[in-house]
Structure 1
Amino acid sequence: MIYTFFLVVLLLAVSIILLGVKTFFTKDGQFPNTHVGGNLALNSKGIFCAKFQDKQERNKKTLFERSMLNENNNEQTNSSL
């Protein structure tokens, strides 16, 4: 029973070390970025993380807001002439 326990602990330790070789034994070891925002292939296709897409949608102006902004700019330029 105790032999099996130590064997399991040894196997777990070896597997954790082997899975983390790059993380544990390199100078700038970091876990890989598996987030959607860190994937260059997805970013090149225009796919971003949900938080970023939500932020973009919240910052978009409607057609009405853009037309009002344009009218305000036109009024300012006309008054300065």
Structure 2
Amino acid sequence: MIITLLCSVLIIAIAFILLNVRIICLKDGNFKSQHIHDNGYLKEKGINCVIDQDKEARIENRAF
């Protein structure tokens, strides 16, 4: 039981360190944005965030 717990903690620690390599190793390191509106490829294709699409649809289809 203890061996399983230690192995689990070790795997989680290794995963945490690997996820933070960019932040730890670079002076101004940070995670890249995962938002759709920050992705250049999706901008070229005209794909927007669902919140932006909802806002546009509400403006176009005003029933009041």
Class of the TM-score when normalised by the shorter of the 2 chains? 0.5 to 0.7
Equivalent residue runs for 1:1-81 within 5 Å: 1-56=1-56
Q: CA deviation at 1:57?
A: 5.1
Structure 1: 4+ residue segments shifted above 3 A = 53-60
Q: CA deviation at 1:9?
A: 0.8
Residue 38 of structure 2 aligns with an amino acid whose one-letter code is G
Distance 1:5 1:51 in 2: 42
Total equivalences in the alignment: 62
Q: Which runs of 5+ in 2 are unaligned?
A: none
Q: Deviations over 1:15-72 (max 9, x none)?
A: 1111221133322222221211111001012222133334445666xxxxxxxxxxxx
Say which one has the larger Rg. Answer: 1
Q: Which runs of 5+ in 1 are unaligned?
A: 61-81
Structure with more contact order per residue of length (Cα contacts < 8 Å, sep ≥ 6): 2
Identity %: 42
